[in-house]
C-alpha cells in the first residue's frame, strides 16, 4: 500500500522581510523494490559562516536518498534481511550518508571555485562548514519504518492514539544544533527502526517530517502535537486534496504567527481519508 504524500517548503516570514532565501530542501522517492518510499528533509543553517547551506541541504537529501535506494535494492524484496541489517548496523547508514554528503560538498565547492576562476585553498573540514545543514530521513516499506536524524527538526508518527516521535533527538541547546558538517557527524545521529507484520493491516496513520521552523512556532510540545493532530484529522475528514490546497497558506500563517523561520513539511498518509 503506497502512501499519499503531501509536501511543501515555505520561506519564513522573517526571511521574506529580510530578503533571505529559503535554506530548506526536501526530496521524495518511490521505489518498485519493496514498494518502498524514501523521504528526506534538510535545513541549511543559513548563518554567515555557512554561505552555501542551501546547497548543503540539497546535497544532504540527495545523499540520503541515494544511500537508501542502493541499500534497499541490494536486498531486493527481502524485507526481513533488510530489517535485521538496520537493527544491527544502523550507524553504518549514517556514516555512509555523511561520507557521501562530504564528498559531494567538496566536489560542489571545487566546481564553484573553477567557475569563479579561484584556487581551492580551503581544507575539507573548512569546506564542510560552509555547507552546514541538518538532515532527517525516513524509509517506509510494507513492513519497516526506518528513520535517521542529524540535528534539529521533528519526525512524528500520528494515529488515532495521538503523536509520538519516531526519533528523540535531545541533541541541541538553544539555537545550536548538530550538523552534517561536524566531524564524525554520524556519531551524533539518532535512528529508529520499527517493524509491522504488514503495513496494510495497520489503521490509518501519518508520518510527518517538519524542519524546526514548525515546532518552534508553537509555545510548547502540547501545542505542536495538537497542530499535527489537526493535520491528521483534516486529511481523515476532508481528504488529502483539501489539505494540499490549503497547505501553503497554513504553513505561512504558522511561520508568520510563530518564529518566522522557513518551514518544510512532508506528510506520508496511510489509510482511508475523507473526500
The number of C-alpha atoms within 13 Å of 144 and in the hemisphere containing its C-beta is 25
The enclosing domain of 183 has a CATH number of 3.60.40.10
**In this predicted structure, what is the pLDDT of residue 15?**
82
165 is a domain residue: yes
SS3 42: strand
Residue environment code for 162-187, b if the CB has 16+ CB neighbours within 10 A, otherwise e? ebebbbebebeeeeebbbbbbeebbe
Structural domain count, the chain? 1
Minimal CA–CA distance to 208: which of 1, 26, 57, 10? Answer: 26
236 is a domain residue: yes
**In this predicted structure, what is the pLDDT of residue 212?**
94
Q: For residues 51 and 130, is the Cβ–Cβ distance under 8 A?
A: yes
- Opening angle at CA 40, ends 253 and 158, nearest 5: 65
E strands of 14-168, at which residues? Answer: 24-30, 37-43, 135-140, 144-150, 154-159, 162-165
**In this predicted structure, what is the pLDDT of residue 13?**
85
- Could you give the CA distance from residue 92 to residue 187 in angstroms, rounded to a whole number? 10
- Could you give the CA distance from residue 271 to residue 166 in angstroms, rounded to a whole number? 19
Domain encompassing residue 74: 4-270
275 is a domain residue: no
Minimal CA–CA distance to 26: which of 155, 216, 178? Answer: 155
Q: For residues 38 and 64, is the Cβ–Cβ distance under 8 A?
A: yes
In order along the chain (275 residues), what is the average pLDDT of each group of 10 residues?
92 85 96 96 92 96 98 95 96 97 96 74 92 97 95 95 88 68 96 81 88 95 96 96 97 94 96 75
202 is a domain residue: yes
Amino acid at each position: 500500500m503506497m502512501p499519499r504524500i503531501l509536501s511543501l517548503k515555505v520561506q519564513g516570514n522573517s526571511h521574506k522581510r529580510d530578503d533571505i532565501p529559503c535554506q530548506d530542501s526536501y526530496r521524495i522517492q518511490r521505489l518498485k523494490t519493496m514498494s518502498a518510499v524514501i523521504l528526506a528533509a534538510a535545513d541549511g543553517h543559513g548563518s554567515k559562516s555557512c554561505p552555501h547551506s542551501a546547497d548543503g541541504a540539497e546535497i544532504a537529501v540527495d545523499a540520503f536518498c541515494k544511500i537508501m535506494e542502493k541499500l534497499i535494492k541490494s536486498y531486493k524484496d527481502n524485507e526481513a534481511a533488510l530489517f535485521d541489517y538496520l537493527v544491527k548496523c544502523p550507524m553504518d547508514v549514517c556514516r555512509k550518508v555523511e561520507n557521501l554528503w562530504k564528498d559531494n560538498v567538496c566536489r560542489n565547492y571545487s566546481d564553484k571555485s573553477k567557475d569563479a576562476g579561484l584556487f581551492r585553498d580551503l581544507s575539507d573540514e573548512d569546506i564542510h562548514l560552509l555547507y552546514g545543514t541538518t538532515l532527517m530521513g525516513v524509509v517506509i516499506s510494507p513492513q519497516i519504518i526506518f528513520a535517521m536524524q542529524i540535528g534539529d527538526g521533528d519526525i512524528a508518527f500520528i494515529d488515532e492514539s495521538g503523536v509520538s516521535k519516531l526519533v528523540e533527538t535531545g541533541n541541541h541547546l538553544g539555537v545550536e544544533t548538530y550538523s552534517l558538517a561536524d566531524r564524525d557527524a554520524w556519531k551524533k545521529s539518532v535512528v529508529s527502526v520499527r517493524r509491522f507484520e504488514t503495513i496494510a493491516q495497520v489503521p490509518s496513520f501519518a508520518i510527518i517530517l517538519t524542519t524546526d521552523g514548525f515546532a518552534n512556532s508553537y509555545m510548547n510540545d502540547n501545542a505542536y502535537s495538537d497542530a499535527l493532530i489537526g493535520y491528521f484529522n483534516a486529511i481523515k475528514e476532508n481528504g488529502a486534496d483539501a489539505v494540499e490546497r490549503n497547505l501553503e497558506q497554513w504553513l505561512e500563517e504558522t511561520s508568520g504567527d510563530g518564529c518566522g523561520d522557513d518551514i518544510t513539511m512532508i506528510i506520508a498518509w496511510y489509510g482511508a481519508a475523507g473526500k
